[in-house]
Amino acid sequence: MREDPEAKLAEMLAQWASFMKWHPNYEKWLVGRIHQEDYQQARINNLLDVIGDLSRKRILDLGCGMGGLSVALRREGFDVIPLDFNIDYCRITKLRGQRYVLDINPINAMGESLPLKSELFDAITLFDVLEHVQRPAYVLRELYRVLKPGGSVFATVINRYAFRDPHYHLRLINWVPKKVAEWYIKQRKRGKSFVPCEDRQKLSEMNYFGFSEFKGLAKSAGFDIKDVACLQISQPSLIRNGRLRKCAQILKSVRLSGLAYLCFRSLSRIYVSSFEFVLYKPGEENH
């Protein structure tokens, strides 16, 4: 009897999402995971606004996770190759693509050693990945290698000093010793270790970065780097939130965009859960 791809997808997603049962809106959150590809438009718009037109360009979705972004991009006709270290995530991504009769075959590999030719991609997405890898510097060097000259990487980076941790949804745990934080996570039953999986990680094993710290790491790999928030404040049209866009337009009209960025960056160092950066490989296409 042939296995139903939709039923298998739901089964695998439920298994992998089970560690989040503490979530106050777990059932709604799970539905969002099952139909993850339907909630990616804002991210795609942001990607296109910041990096530019990606039609007729090859994209690597490194750390594709459960495939929501990869499938959403393929549905819109983009040439994207998903890659993830977790073999089950690769299977989930393939099953998700089958919903739309898309032949998606994710690559199962580590970001530190990509089985890919050099200068193969025009753009790379790196969303919610760097915190989980073993050696971030090696991953960045590999990204630089497989990226074409003039290409771009859109990356999210967890803020080491975030007021609220984005993985465990707990306040101030990054401001106390790691042993204390992990004890508290366990008491709140939000740890991920009770789900059997080789790539679940404790807080002390993950990679969080200060703003300047990550900029230095990216530059050491050869990249030029820009903060997406800075780009948005200097170019209000890139801000999708209407009220924030209007505020940025007013500040820019009175030549205070620099002050706006300074205020935002000062606040984000202790409040924003993650930074967004665009990493550029110097080359033919100037940014």
Which pLDDT does position 31 carry in this prediction? 87
pLDDT at 240: 55
pLDDT band at 22 (very low <50, low <70, confident <90, very high): confident
Q: How confident is the model at residue 287 (pLDDT cuts 50, 70, 90)?
A: very low
| 266, 267, 268, 269 from 263: Cα distances, Å | 5, 6, 9, 10
**pLDDT score, position 239:** 57
Q: What is the pLDDT of residue 23?
A: 82
Whether 256 has a pLDDT exceeding 80, the answer reads no
CA distances from 8 to 18, 56, 125, 256 (A): 15, 33, 27, 54
pLDDT, tens digit (0-9, with 9 covering 90-100), for 2-16: 568 788 888 888 888
Cβ proximity of 62 and 83 under 8 Å: yes
Per DSSP, the residues of 212-266 read HHHHHHHHHTT-EEEEHHHHHHHSGGG--SHHHHHHHHHHHHTT-HHHHHHHHHH
pTM to 2 decimals? 0.88
* pLDDT mean across residues, the chain: 86
Decide if pLDDT at 233 tops 70.
Answer: no
- Whole-number pLDDT of residue 19: 79
Q: Which of 47, 53, 113, 121 is nearest to 81 (CA)?
A: 121
**C-alpha–C-alpha distance, residues 276 and 124, integer Å:** 13
Q: Which amino acid is at 79?
A: D
- When comparing pLDDT for 80 and 205, which is higher? 80
- CA angle 66–57–60, rounded 5-degree value: 30
Predicted confidence at residue 150, as pLDDT, reads 95
